[in-house]
Structures are given as structure tokens and as C-alpha cells.
Amino acid sequence: MLKRKQVYLDPEHERRLKHLAWRTGTSEAEHIRRALEEYLSWQEPVDAQEEEDPLLEVIGLCQRSEGPRDASVNHDRYLYGRREGA
């Protein structure tokens, strides 16, 4: 289901969009949706940023029976893969 949005275009973008729609036989709205999809594909998803955060990987690490017992001292090693003082 499509949702209606209102956008403001400067006169040059409006002129170019209208010409593109006329030339291709595709609606202005469809061109805007395609451009938005292309733009969003270049942006890093918020979920991916959270998954890559090393801190989130460490949460609960010491609560597991096989987890490290020295995380409070060597947290940098577990977070960033380096030894303390390095």
C-alpha cells in the first residue's frame, strides 16, 4: 500500500522531472520512488549499525558459563580485539 507524501521541488528539478516523465511515459511519482529507493540503498541501515557495534556483542558475555571471567579488566580486548595498554 502506498502512502501519500508531499515534497517541495525547486523549479529546475520540477522542470526536469516533468520532462523525464513525459519522455519515458513513467509518472513523476514513480521516478521519485525509484530515486528514493536508489538513495536509500546507499545509506547504511540503522539495524546494521546496531549489529556491528562491538559493545552489543559483549553484553551478557560474562553471564554465559563459557564466557570470559576477566572482561572487567580486559574489556578492550573483547570489544576491539586489542590488549590493554596496546
- pLDDT confidence band for 74 (50 / 70 / 90): confident
Query: In terms of pTM, does the model score above 0.85?
Result: no
75 contact partners, CB below 8 Å, separation of at least 6: 58
pLDDT tens-digit map of 56-66: 666 666 666 66
Retrieve residue 50's grid coordinates. Answer: 546496531
Q: Which of these, 77, 22, 43, lies nearest to 68 by C-alpha position?
A: 77
| CB contact at 8 A, 58 and 75 | yes
**pLDDT tens digits, one per residue of 14-49:** 999 999 999 999 999 999 999 999 898 888 666 655
Q: State residue 71's pLDDT score.
A: 72
Please, which residues have CB within 8 angstroms of residue 59's CB and are 6 or more apart in sequence? none
